[in-house]
Amino acid sequence: MSHTIRMTVPQDLPGKEKMMDSTILRCVHVDMGYGRQLVLPDVHLDIAPGAILGILGPNGAGKTTLLKTLLGILRPLRGAIDYPGGRDRVRFGYVPQRQVVDETYPLTVAEVVMMGRYGLLGVGHRPRRTDEEARVLALEEVGLVHLANRPYRELSGGQKQRILIARALAGDPTVLVLDEPTTDMDLPSERAIMELIAKLHTRQGLTTLVVSHLLHVVLSLATTIAFVNRTVTVVPAAEGRSAEYLSAFYGVPVRVAELGGMHVAI
């Protein structure tokens, strides 16, 4: 890849309605956890339209708890998540870790991507022409239209990740959520996925949440960073990628270098 990853937040959001409020999702005094187990107390978080929020933290720090609560999979233990522009104007497109996707059934790429339309179709309804068109557009966005009839489980890891992104895009989301999108990838595949995320953000104005334990992925993509370690601290990316901040958070000396347009912690 000869070009570099450069992130800018667009002033206009092509293909999406602008939110009247500067925040599309807000947490104030929200406790997050499971049952009676408190994992993240007193979370304060604002997500602005068009932002890329990177979520960083060590294993077991609460990243998954935060993500599931934002998606509505978990109910807050205290407080509530507010949608200043209206809940109906926030549609999540969720891209899970591809390692947890069940490949038992011999589904084609086209069938996997069409799953992203199920929430819009309703129970018992068959795909319409608009759904087929949305599937094709989603595959075009990730550059894999030519693989529509291939079995999903025969694809490479990088191709599978693109298809899962296409599945999320098919549902016409306003917020794209990616959980560990580059795990277990070689360097070229990882770079290609990062560039795809950056392209989607720029072209579609998608508000994006990226959860990763890989520092360079979040540092290179994010406009805002949420540091999670039994609490949540949100800072602008310029502050969060500083050596001083990262060293204090991880408790070890960290240096940050820019290589080929990517921010790398060493």
8 Å CB contact between 151 and 107: yes
Q: What does the pLDDT profile of the chain (266 residues) look like in tens digits?
A: 333 344 433 333 334 444 345 899 999 999 999 988 999 999 999 999 999 999 999 888 999 999 999 999 999 999 999 999 898 889 999 998 876 677 777 899 999 999 999 888 766 678 889 999 999 999 999 999 999 999 999 999 899 999 999 999 999 999 999 999 998 888 889 999 999 999 999 888 899 999 998 899 999 999 999 999 999 999 999 999 999 999 999 899 989 888 777 888 88
Helices within the chain (DSSP H only):
63-71, 109-114, 118-121, 129-142, 157-170, 187-204, 215-221, 237-240, 243-250
Tens digit of pLDDT for each residue in 233-242? 999 999 999 9
Within 8 A by CB and 6+ apart from 210, the residues are 52, 53, 54, 55, 178, 181, 197, 217, 218, 221, 222
Q: What is the CATH number of domain 1-90+174-266?
A: 3.40.50.300
Q: Record the pTM.
A: 0.87
Helices within 44-186 (DSSP H only):
63-71, 109-114, 118-121, 129-142, 157-170
Question: So what's the pLDDT on residue 11?
Answer: 34
8 Å CB contact between 150 and 159: no
Contacts 24+ apart (CB under 8 A), 196-201: 196/142, 196/162, 196/165, 197/52, 197/221, 198/5, 198/6, 198/7, 200/141, 200/165, 200/169, 200/176, 201/7, 201/50, 201/52
Cα gap 53→105, rounded to integer Å = 34
Residue ranges of the chain that CATH labels 3.40.50.300: 1-90+174-266
